[in-house]
């Protein structure tokens, strides 16, 4: 069997078939699978609670941040998500089975966590909408986790922006961006 050793730049299926008659397009089409559109699983939103099941902002655990007009950092971070991440249209990268911080303004941190076995790079503006859903749906607190059908999730919780997060199988982590001081 002869396989070409030079690199070809082909623009269409007719060129591909003439360059390599061993390819059977019917076999390729027969093996195509239908892809599901990726989407948020709003039914998978988990809001942080105290051990007694309450979200009373006067008795919150360390990892829970009050979301109220009394917390200007909360508003600064949500504005950053709307203008900083969304306007840039950049990708937020996360390695396999790790979490990275994609936004932070002490005491609020936003993390992208992957459950996948490969590196992924979803759009930061898409992830910003997850954090906003957590802020808007977890009444009284800015703390929760929302999952995507594509094998990743966004987590909002308390964070010290001066310390790198330690998440992942090898206990390493990093951050993609921080809110300017």
**Which pTM does this prediction carry?**
0.61
pLDDT band at 37 (very low <50, low <70, confident <90, very high): low
Q: Which one has a higher pLDDT value, 126 or 140? A: 126
Neighbouring-strand partners of residue 157:
109
pLDDT of 85-125, one tens digit each? 555 557 888 889 888 888 877 777 888 999 999 999 988 87
Domain boundaries, the chain: 42-175
Contact 104, 159 (CB under 8 A): yes
pLDDT of 80-90, one tens digit each? 666 665 555 57
Q: Is 140 left (phi over 0), alpha (psi -120 to 50) or beta?
A: left
């Amino acid at each position: 069997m002869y396989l070409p050793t030079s690199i070809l730049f082909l623009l269409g299926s007719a060129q591909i078939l003439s360059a390599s008659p061993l390819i059977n397009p019917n076999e390729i089409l027969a093996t195509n699978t239908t892809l599901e559109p990726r989407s948020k699983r709003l039914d998978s939103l988990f809001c942080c609670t105290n051990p007694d099941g309450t979200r009373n902002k006067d008795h919150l655990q360390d990892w829970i941040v009050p979301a109220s007009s009394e917390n200007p950092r909360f508003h600064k971070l949500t504005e950053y998500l709307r203008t900083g991440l969304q306007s840039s249209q950049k990708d937020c990268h996360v390695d396999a089975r790790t979490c990275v911080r994609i936004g932070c303004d002490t005491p609020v941190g936003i993390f992208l966590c992957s459950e996948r076995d490969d590196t992924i790079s979803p759009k930061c503006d898409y992830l910003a909408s997850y954090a906003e859903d957590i802020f808007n749906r977890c009444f009284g607190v800015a703390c929760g986790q929302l999952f995507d059908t594509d094998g990743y999730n966004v987590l909002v919780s308390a964070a010290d922006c001066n310390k790198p997060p330690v998440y992942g199988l090898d206990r390493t982590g990093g951050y993609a961006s921080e809110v300017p001081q």
